[in-house]
Structure 1
Amino acid sequence: MIPHVDVAVVGAGVTGLAAAWAAEQKGATVAVVEAGANCGGSIQSQHIDGFLVERGASSMTGSAALMRVLGQLGLRDEVVVPPTNASRRFIVRNSKLCPLPSSPLGLLTTPALTWRGKMRALREPWVAQSQVSPEFESVAAL
């Protein structure tokens, strides 16, 4: 028999795990269902030939709110700040290593991003943060 839960979260990616944690913080009984073998969704880390390879997003802004949540989760000490001498960063695109641009002009000429990706990156400073409702929406309400 399946036990009663207040909230069922489909997907154990970062968003699903964050939603499950937030619901649990409010006292809900939560079940997380994931189709894959690992949590993290598209974000995975692998060590290959002595290098750390990040799949998915590999950076985030260190906002006070994020650091507060990481502290509540006991993960603040796990934050990895890139060394200052690591001035070049790379991604793999179409099976090729591409340096990430370090300037707005480099952003326009890099093979690391599609044209759509370049335009999205250029718009980023003007994109408003989405406002998430403080109330939980149930599947039944959909």
Structure 2
Amino acid sequence: MRSMIGNRRSSTAAAVVGAAALVTVLSGCAGGSTNSPAPSSTTPASSTKTAPATTSASGSTFTDAQVQQLCSDMEGQLQNWRTVTPTLGKGGLNTIVITWATQNGINLLDLAQNRESIDAATSAACPDVRGGAISALEIPDLASGLVGF
């Protein structure tokens, strides 16, 4: 029982941190600045090809590698989302999407206007992970779980 309470407290703390990050990122973007991280000077040694782009139904474009990273990040949290309340889990989903977008230089304002692009991309790349997230978070689609989007 005590470990269950500890898990909920840490999950609650994670959700609060995620919500704070969302507010910080969105308020920082509200000023109109679209700063992207500087291009990396290193390239992966395992591949010399450019990853093909995957275009979602809403027009947002992500590479296959980017979508696979998002799927992997979400898959890593599925068990946690099944054990916490859907409200806390949605905070975790937002944290994952914001972190993923930031790491990949994806404009958060564009993503906010096209949140359906997350559904389209994950439907094509990892329908099982997407379905598991939707079930655990008790939402009709991933776009519905994105707060502030």
TM-score (norm 1): 0.25
Larger RCO: 1 or 2 (CA < 8 Å, sep 6+): 2
TM-score (norm 2): 0.24
Larger helix fraction of residues? 2
Report the structure number with the largest CA radius of gyration: 1
